[in-house]
Structure 1
């Protein structure tokens, strides 16, 4: 890594990314000089674009369709000269290039991938599996890797390692280890790249030819993405294209880059001289492999074979200057931006929540639930789930005993919405004014607010929260019911809940692993799909437009709006949910989370917004603001709030993004220090 990249916060190479490319040059059959020129032209384009690894098609220096011309000495001599010229002329280009060429060793002809970096041949990888069926006759000209005797060969005047057991590693770019296979190697049941991945390769290259027939492009695309998912790796695929002989076949030049099951980039087929690039996330791959214990168990089962892999270390010469990330980072990692995907996500979460509550009621034999309704987002979603759980159980919605409990700071707006919501959903609807009992508690404590003094400290706030929870649990005792909790994943992460009260404690919590950003869209989905009727839709829209507030400190009056803003205290939920996802799901360093957040949130035109968010509600955050709220998040999440999560009630996990249940995804000490995280943030994030 260059000095500029090491110190420039905006460079992708500083944050665990690497830019890769799949190149498809136009070729001429049996014209190595022309093919070398075309390959060099794309290699120069890749270097200018900051690419670290570029893969080219199978047998690209001769063309794949040379047939029996492969056995002609003149062609092989021209190929050897062209390969030597490429090695020499690419010496001034940063990055690694995997080129395809026939190579003669030990009196045999091998179909090879040749790995070149800065004028050095790092290694030569022969094809392991030669197709000899349908239109393929490779065994007529070539032999397989297993037929080789030597482990080193001479290429372009250089002695280089030879074999399918090579791993190429750049220690100066953490996590960058790549493996090479050729075409059919990726089509067999147990692929060479699979063993390469188990041996440590995070990037898998496939130099391919693969003629085109109807339906094959989709199959190849799926093959690449599935390999990347199965091997928790990036998979780069380059297939022969224009210029190959069409005597009997046609060639589309498919170029694919996939990462852990996702298609990052794909070129336009049937086009000449393509260079398809993508920025691969090496740290994400490492994080997934670290957590997937079965991946490592599988490697253990093949340890004798994996021990035979040879590692070729090299100092990767990266392009000078910072390289800016071109990968799209979703602003809302818990909320798909696409309407169809988002609707499916909301439908799935809804069913998981309903299933969780109905199973708990069925298992206990309890037919009633008690729930506090504030007129805010979380209690709204919990009330919807409670009502629809009764529907599923064949019980009347009146079995949902819903209570709104106004306190000293409750506004008319939220109180009205709470009543409208209970009525619209057809639940039992009750109101208990907690102010008398709260005043009595304050008086018992000797608190000045009992006499009306405006002392609005934490005791004043938590007396109200505690009174509400006490009523709910005693109501559950009285009616033989179960208390449904309302607190969400975001509040649990930030500790924005009073210990032992309704946001933190209940008999069963349906929202505990649903983040605040997704809660909002779940309610919007209920409106959009009109599942609850027109009466409910109107109040749900009003609730969605309500500022998030605990409503515990009085304002100027019940019609003046809330005097407290949750987001002013703990940070914007949309940004804190972003931080939570990457810390919880991948364990990233704070500086990397800040880098991703800046890329996603630093410009209103970057990233993607769920399409139902109007322009007027779209925010952006500069790096100092991101750093400020990330600091707040880390301190709260690591150091101050774990003791609350350690006492969480049962709740269903809804997403792969993780939950904070002490019995599920997250087990942590309650007395940990956040110093390591905060120091890393301060040391590595400017602003």
Structure 2
């Protein structure tokens, strides 16, 4: 069967749900009808896994009625009703009820799918404080003397150490715990995650109290983070007894520390929430973080006690489009909301300043040499340098800033460089590099030196190299340090000349900062007035300037015709930074990046402005794959020291990225080639 490119299940996502039916206390038939109706609704939404509340078939607040045989039998009949409803559905459901096993009553979760009972999980920790007194009615999981039970004519596994593994999706493994279990110091799900469970399910009751909802959110987020897993939590809602408690039906879905979805509390109607879990992301983190592997090793003997149950997880229709229901950041390096973005910019700026201050102190140097082009990267490096000098209580005149116009330097950027240097109060000079470049081109017998308009890579690199040579010799002459300006995006794309200013320096503050974030950092400095009121106007002009290397002269007849556009050559930085984040931070293959890019940037994205066609997305991703994996690593293997500023990664060979300079890119290019040219 053909796999549809826009089907989330074909890219290792899985749709999960937490459902909250309307309950009637001690009325299992009604509760079964509600549960079955919601289950059918969720199956229609292609949900693979759905969790319902604790003791949802009987009602949680039955108290001593749990010991009544009539209620126990009615709960079993209700389970049979839900099981029958599941026969034609692919959605795996987890429902709660009281179950008698060997003359003991257990609070259990039953895992079922397609008319089959997959397993029964008893609650491990029974609360016996405040308004809870479950030991009065139930026995804890470790009281059981059997590990299998007969249930509705099926022989099934019974116990708290069960992992349910999807045969058709190797990254999907489930574990079930009940309410208080996750409130324990070491929840059962912690060991289950080490045993391989990637999606943790919790059937809960959890009554409503002031402040409790916020604590639940923290609990679900933190447990998903510690376990490097998804956590799906459903709590009892309307219809439970109000004798001594109230119930808010608070459902939550977390993934590795992030809260993906939560329900409206105190709903008067049946409710459910869903989220698409990124199984590849979870698997990548578990493989990457050595502490996870060490925990598995330490607890290996206990983890071997987990028993495993197989099931088929994927719904029908993998050859049909099933879009991703998941918020995707277009700018993963830059928070979307203003407050978080300002906080990010402030923190990154402080990291850069602190690192530069430490490097100057340790070197014993008190001066910096900076080449200022009037573009974004050198502007931000100069802003960091100014703040570092202030922190060191040194005059800004110790920043030796130079603008070095070449054959293609525009009056706009030259003017911006001068205005910025003067506003910041650094030592500002101009060195015209055209004479020294002409001499070198003559020495090389380059056609340009004989009057021919040959603007090749040699012509460009002679200018870049002359600027860097001047900066290093100026640093020698003045007892200073050359401050690098090149950013993370340029390193990723190999858009830097080997051994020159955007590649080589004594220290570089921008090397782990992508271009999209550099832009916001400069804007943040301007808007917060950190560079002074006079600098704001020139910073805004720089932000509105086309990104260009300015190495090839414009045509005399049409000055705009030959304007070098960096993004015309390497693709829009907003897309390339998106591609870089997915590849560097999560290790995703090109096909998966294309799938995510379609949902973030394609015509069907949640944000309609600034979209790209599928063909454009594939083309720009192709540029990234070729430039990142083929032929640029040798530049990254010898970059100068620079501070890492975020968890999005750096390309330092001493940090996040170690790769051979002569590795083949064929694997990634072949994967990229499998992206369809046109979507059905």
Give TM-score scaled by structure 1 length: 0.97
Query: For each residue in 1:443-486, what CA deviation from the matched residue of structure 2 results, as whole angstroms up to 9, or x when unmatched?
Result: 00111111321011111110000000000000000000000000
Give the distance between the partners of 2:26 and 2:222, measured in 1 at CA.
34
Alignment match, 1:306: 303
Contact 2:598 2:604 in 1 (8 A): no
Alignment match, 2:279: 282
Alignment match, 2:96: 100
Task: Give the alignment of 1:287-686 within 5 angstroms.
Answer: 287-320=284-317, 321-557=320-556, 560=559, 563-603=563-603, 606-607=606-607, 619-686=610-677
Query: For each residue in 1:61-100, what CA deviation from the matched residue of structure 2 results, as whole angstroms up to 9, or x when unmatched?
Result: 1101111111111111111111111111211112100000
1:338: how far off?
A: 0.4
1:684: how far off?
A: 3.8
Structure 1 runs of 4+ aligned residues shifted over 6 Å read none
Give the distance between the partners of 1:599 and 1:642, measured in 2 at CA.
30
Contact 2:256 2:282 in 1 (8 A): yes
Give the distance between the partners of 1:334 and 1:397, measured in 2 at CA.
30
Task: Give the alignment of 1:112-151 within 5 angstroms.
Answer: 112-151=108-147
Is 1:167 equivalent to 2:166 in the alignment? no
1:317: how far off?
A: 4.5
Contact 2:492 2:580 in 1 (8 A): yes
Query: For each residue in 1:486-507, what CA deviation from the matched residue of structure 2 results, as whole angstroms up to 9, or x when unmatched?
Result: 0000000000011000000000
Give the distance between the partners of 1:533 and 1:38, measured in 2 at CA.
64
Task: Give the alignment of 1:12-51 within 5 angstroms.
Answer: 12-51=8-47
For 1:569, what is the secondary structure of its paired residue?
Answer: helix
Give the distance between the partners of 1:239 and 1:251, measured in 2 at CA.
8
Query: For each residue in 1:86-121, what CA deviation from the matched residue of structure 2 results, as whole angstroms up to 9, or x when unmatched?
Result: 111211112100000111111111100000110000
1:604: how far off?
A: 7.9
Is 1:244 equivalent to 2:244 in the alignment? no
1:559: how far off?
A: 10
Contact 1:330 1:600 in 2 (8 A): yes
Give the distance between the partners of 1:598 and 1:245, measured in 2 at CA.
47
Contact 1:167 1:201 in 2 (8 A): yes
For 1:220, what is the secondary structure of its paired residue?
Answer: helix
For 1:212, what is the secondary structure of its paired residue?
Answer: coil
Contact 1:26 1:273 in 2 (8 A): yes
1:607: how far off?
A: 4.7
Contact 2:464 2:500 in 1 (8 A): yes
Alignment match, 1:70: 66
Give the distance between the partners of 1:348 and 1:558, measured in 2 at CA.
47
Alignment match, 1:158: 154
1:557: how far off?
A: 4.9
Alpha-carbon distance change, 303 to 464 in structure 1, aligned in 2, over 3 angstroms: same
For 2:630, what is the secondary structure of its paired residue?
Answer: helix
Return 260-269 or 597-606, whichever deviates more.
597-606
1:558: how far off?
A: 12
Give the distance between the partners of 1:19 and 1:418, measured in 2 at CA.
52
- The number of residue pairs the alignment matches comes to 674
Alignment match, 1:263: 259
1:174: how far off?
A: 3.2
Give the distance between the partners of 1:558 and 1:222, measured in 2 at CA.
64
Alignment match, 1:613: none
Give the distance between the partners of 1:142 and 1:479, measured in 2 at CA.
80
Give the distance between the partners of 1:316 and 1:456, measured in 2 at CA.
59
1:29: how far off?
A: 1.0
For 1:279, what is the secondary structure of its paired residue?
Answer: strand
Give the distance between the partners of 1:108 and 1:238, measured in 2 at CA.
26
Q: Unaligned stretches of 5+ in structure 1?
A: 609-617
1:534: how far off?
A: 2.4
Contact 1:328 1:607 in 2 (8 A): no
Contact 1:254 1:269 in 2 (8 A): yes
Instruction: Please give the root-mean-square deviation of Cα atoms over the aligned residues, in Å.
Output: 1.3
Give the distance between the partners of 2:470 and 2:43, measured in 1 at CA.
68
Give the distance between the partners of 1:348 and 1:559, measured in 2 at CA.
44
Query: For each residue in 1:281-300, what CA deviation from the matched residue of structure 2 results, as whole angstroms up to 9, or x when unmatched?
Result: 11111111111110110111
Alpha-carbon distance change, 531 to 365 in structure 1, aligned in 2, over 3 angstroms: same
Give the distance between the partners of 2:348 and 2:671, measured in 1 at CA.
35
Alignment match, 1:273: 270
Alpha-carbon distance change, 402 to 559 in structure 1, aligned in 2, over 3 angstroms: farther
Give the distance between the partners of 2:109 and 2:476, measured in 1 at CA.
73
Query: For each residue in 1:532-587, what CA deviation from the matched residue of structure 2 results, as whole angstroms up to 9, or x when unmatched?
Result: 12221111111101111111110025993562111111111110000000000010
Give the distance between the partners of 1:557 and 1:345, measured in 2 at CA.
44
Contact 1:235 1:259 in 2 (8 A): yes
Give the distance between the partners of 1:444 and 1:289, measured in 2 at CA.
56
Contact 2:618 2:675 in 1 (8 A): no
Give the distance between the partners of 1:668 and 1:35, measured in 2 at CA.
57
